[in-house]
Structure 1
């Protein structure tokens, strides 16, 4: 395996956690999953974004930092690969969409202080799906607080992600996940596994699923 720290990203409902579970099993990798359900501000944020955006994003940043620092700085003699279903920079990208300008500037200062203490992944797998597919996946998993996410919010997140990846020239497998079925179609998962065996240069590398 060319990559020892693999991170999966994408919009809400893109299928990040499903793919992370499958890759970790296939690669005998240590798995890091985002613990979003423990954020007490999440349901309140979807009801009243202006009031709860800042504490929501601060809580997420603190929890993600704590989890990644503990996991990535602990050696595991039996698992030499780590798969995560989120990129720490996700904190900044979501905050950019949810926070007003003054609060975002403060948030960014805090982010910059702690971000440098974490390892960056060897490769990023970005799952790109149209908003219609994201909304269908969100309805299917049926988390009550997610059922009224506006299309515009998902579009803003999508644009923020892709802009960040391209601006920073991150080594990224950009996967068209419009019709992805990693659980039900072994060929889709195999495309990702085969790609991870290659040594890609920096930049974005676009992958289609059969």
Structure 2
């Protein structure tokens, strides 16, 4: 396979970590999973979003940067495949949704300083799922602080991702998660593996 750094993205509950684990296991790749559970502000944010949004997003950005920097520095670019379940840009996208304008402007300045220091993925796999599917998955994984996530918030997250992907020349493989199930249907996973053997130009490609 020609891709050495694959990132899986999607809305909350889209199935990013599940697919990242399956791909990493199949290819014996290095796996980078977001350590969201370590963020002490996450449960507080869902209770009082305006009060805790800024420390929440700062913590996420710092942790994502450190994790990606450490892991990618150890990567042998000629032999190692790396699979991650998040883009660093998601820090800025979620900040745009969650922060007040003056907070976001400060946050963006910090982001712009550190983002150029990171290696960008060769391929983005985006898991596109409708809100009812996301809510079903969120309910099933049963993280207490996620159970009250509003449909409107998930729509905002989706729209922000779509805006970013359309405006930037990211080599993106778009998957319709209403039509695939990588856990229950091995044939769906086989189709994805076949798709990863192909060369893609920058832009959106639908599987």
Matches within 5 A, 1:47-58: 47-58=47-58
Matches within 5 A, 1:168-207: 168-207=168-207
Instruction: Give the number of aligned pairs.
Output: 207
Give the aligned partner of residue 88 of structure 2.
88
Give the aligned partner of residue 8 of structure 2.
8
Q: Deviations over 1:93-112 (max 9, x none)?
A: 01011111111111000000
Give the aligned partner of residue 116 of structure 1.
116
Distance 1:164 1:180 in 2: 24
Distance 1:78 1:183 in 2: 30
| Shift of residue 133, structure 1, vs aligned partner | 0.2
Distance 2:101 2:126 in 1: 27
Matches within 5 A, 1:36-51: 36-51=36-51
Change (3 A) 1:96 1:75: same
Distance 2:46 2:78 in 1: 41
Distance 2:191 2:38 in 1: 33
- Native 8 Å contact 2:4 2:77 kept in 1: no
Matches within 5 A, 1:7-86: 7-76=7-76, 80-86=80-86
TM-score (norm 2): 0.97
Give the aligned partner of residue 130 of structure 1.
130
What SS is found at the alignment partner of 1:169? coil
| Shift of residue 76, structure 1, vs aligned partner | 4.9
Change (3 A) 1:74 1:158: same
CA RMSD in angstroms comes to 1.3
TM-score (norm 1): 0.96
| Shift of residue 79, structure 1, vs aligned partner | 6.0
Distance 1:186 1:68 in 2: 30
Distance 1:118 1:64 in 2: 11
Give the aligned partner of residue 153 of structure 1.
153
5+ unaligned residues in a row in structure 1: which ranges? none
- Native 8 Å contact 1:29 1:79 kept in 2: no
- Return structure 1 stretches of 4+ with deviation > 4 angstroms: 76-79
5+ unaligned residues in a row in structure 2: which ranges? none
| Shift of residue 28, structure 1, vs aligned partner | 1.1
| Shift of residue 169, structure 1, vs aligned partner | 2.1
Distance 2:34 2:144 in 1: 18
Q: Deviations over 1:115-146 (max 9, x none)?
A: 00000000000000000000000000000000
